[in-house]
Structure 1
Amino acid sequence: MPDPQKLLKTLELARCKILQTAGRSGHFLEPQKVDDIFVVGDLHGNVSNFQAIYKKIELDKHPGRHLVLQELIHGVFRYPQGGDKSHQLVDLFATLKCCFPDRVHYLIGNHELAQWTGKEILKNEEDLNRLFDRGIEEAYRDYATEIRTAYNSLFAICPLGIRLPNRVYICHTLPSTRRMEQFSLDFVKQEEFQPEDFQTGGKVYANLWGRDTTAENAAEFLKRVDADYLVCGHIPCEKGYEFLCERLVVLDCAKVPGGYVHIHASTNYSPSTFTSIAFVIS
């Protein structure tokens, strides 16, 4: 476990690096100097899957390679007193962001939104926000409040959407058909949101909680973000990934097998070649 005082400095530096990321516009990111990119998620505290993909991609040996980590928190891994250990992945992200500031990116999901805004989120009748807080308390004791605040500061500025040069868009999920009309890329590019945007039915909420993955809804979303293909999380997948239509793949890296995609930024994908980008961690 990192020294809590050093961790606080790392989290603050990572926050600065997020704000300074090349290609950032509000909560939208167009990565710069990218040859290829690995997208991993939803991780939900699975450190083993994170370690496996990090070892595989060798960021230090590939200066044009980027890594996107998606939905890191609220997992099944516990400390002896029952707290959630998933904050460890946020710590690891912060360290990587400081080492590779323009090449490692964190896409938040509905779980980060719930944790940061205090919206109750339950699974198997357990309060996941409270379990996350207890994990921080078990790990960092007297520094828990400061570290929790630092995590929330990170969540508040992480991107909601990433678009690659070859028109592949990466986000947690897409708004439902009913909420699509209020969605625009200009909204994602905003630096600040209004309190109502985080509430049920709000624009940020809709962008992180929607489950309408039909081909028609995906096509409308892609038109609004000016992209051709979509990589999402949010939907559980027994085999680690699933192509829900010819232009949409969803990833699930919380269990084994864990799914990821490897995208070559110079490749203009077709519906048939797009299906070649997904893999499971081995």
Structure 2
Amino acid sequence: MEEAVKARWASLAEKLILINKKPNTRSNKAKLKEELEQINKYYAHTLVIIEQLDEALQPKYLTLIRTAVGEIKTAINHRLETRQRLSFKTVAWLITCLVTKRVKMATPLELLKTLPALIPEYDGNSTKLNRTVAALRAAKTIITDTNKAMAIQLILSRFDGKAKLAVGDNPASVDDIIKTLELKCRQVIAPETIVAKLNATKQAGDATKYIEQVEKLTVELEQAYISNSIPTAVAEKMAVQAGVKALASGVKNAETKILLKAGQFHTMASAVEKVLENENQGTTSVLSFR
């Protein structure tokens, strides 16, 4: 039975490598959504197998499997949230245009090909606004008075929900679109608000769910710091410190609290690993699941 668990852990490690190697294309994103559903079933079945091991071995393998599954979910979610990559030919064409200063010669066919690939679909989500605005500014380099009307309609076709309602049907220019999105979709959350949420988040049941909540808020805190003009490296450090402090305060296990308060953690991943290693109460509750 132990060999079966080892084999499953190895297959998870291999799966993570394959996921990270896959190009971020639309077809692969669809497959990743299916993969996310399958990994949850795989995890539940693996827990049943771990439950049949000697009790002394159960915590070790539970930690290994939890960590592997968590890394896979993180990798999948990151890819699902990341904009689809441009094709090599599209990138090559854009570079050629910019370098040779032939951008004003973009034909309708080239616009049809380039703008939908360059500009991500956008529904007004504030966390995705920066990349959308960056794409719109890049698009301006191939838009002229001659093709502006067509370009604007192509851009509008990428919007949905709140973004579509905000911009309307007849914006005068790309600059107007950018200004409207900045005004209507930009949500600046005070870091103090997120820190308060972090500190108020306590473990009520399974450790994995609690950790996911803290990690999500830590990422939001980092983004909030960056939105407040704090350098990325500093924002990451400050967010990790707040996240680790919240973990130490909110986790149930007394030993884990002490280790988190005494240790030096430069990433959330290292702090999470320590929590999983010592969360015996969480291990017991998970293994009782059938």
TM score, norm. by length of structure 1: 0.30
Higher gyration radius (CA): 2
More strand by share: 1
More helix by share: 2
TM score, norm. by length of structure 2: 0.30
